[in-house]
């Protein structure tokens, strides 16, 4: 079983009430091998909500409200599910302060990017779960071919 960001399979969990539908990821759910999760909703945040970005290891929304505890709670919920289901792989949405892998927005709310992982991505990696970015077409293709 694989965890996937809920917004990638068309669920309107994104901060603006939209989604990031990706037909390849949706295929995994249709095949019954992937479970959609949204860490920000699991952390108690509403949808739609203001965008948030990571600054110095804390997460603030665009109104400068510290939402770190929500992001950490959401990440812990995702990890709990991953452990209960013995999940070893997650495909998470690129650049997000929860789900981004390797590259995230830099905290200035100006579309600039910086190196780093989202809060959920980091917690999963720290617990031995492989996280694949939704932008990593090659790895996702390989995964699909092996299912
Ligand atoms: S937290 Fe992750 S799953 Fe939820 S909307 Fe943001 S990128 Fe998608």
Atom 6 of ligand 1, residue of closest alpha carbon? 14
To test the ligand 1 pocket, which listed residue (22, 74, 98) has its Cβ within 8 A of the most ligand atoms? Answer: 98
Q: ∠ at Cα 24 (98, 86), nearest 5°? A: 55
pLDDT tens-digit map of 116-142: 999 999 999 999 999 999 999 999 999
Confidence class for position 51, pLDDT limits 50, 70, 90: very high
134, 89 Cβ separation under 8 angstroms = no
Atom 5 of ligand 1, residue of closest alpha carbon? 14
102, 134 Cβ separation under 8 angstroms = no
Separation CA 142–CA 140 (nearest Å): 5
The pocket around ligand 1, CB under 6 angstroms, is made up of 5-7, 13-14, 38-40, 93, 96, 98-99
4 - beta bridge partners? 36, 91
pLDDT at residue number 95: 98
55 - beta bridge partners? 58
pLDDT at residue number 38: 99
pLDDT tens-digit map of 73-119: 999 999 999 999 999 999 999 999 999 999 999 999 999 999 999 99
Separation CA 130–CA 89 (nearest Å): 5
Gap from CA of 70 to ligand 1 centroid (Å): 13
Q: ∠ at Cα 17 (123, 85), nearest 5°? A: 35
Mean pLDDT, range 2-15, rounded to an integer: 98
């Amino acid at each position: 079983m694989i965890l996937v960001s809920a917004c990638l399979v068309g669920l309107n969990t994104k901060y603006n009430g939209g989604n990031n539908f990706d037909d390849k990821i949706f295929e995994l759910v249709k095949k019954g091998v992937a479970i959609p999760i949204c860490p920000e909703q699991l952390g108690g945040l509403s949808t739609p909500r203001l965008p948030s970005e990571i600054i110095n290891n804390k997460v603030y929304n665009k109104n400068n409200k510290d939402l770190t505890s929500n992001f950490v709670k959401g990440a812990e919920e995702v990890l709990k599910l991953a452990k209960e289901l013995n999940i070893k792989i997650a495909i998470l949405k690129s650049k997000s302060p929860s789900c981004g892998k390797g590259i995230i927005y830099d905290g200035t709310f100006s579309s600039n990017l910086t190196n780093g992982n989202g809060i959920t991505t980091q917690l999963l990696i720290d617990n031995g779960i492989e996280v694949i970015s939704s932008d990593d077409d090659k790895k996702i293709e390989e995964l699909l071919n092996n299912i």
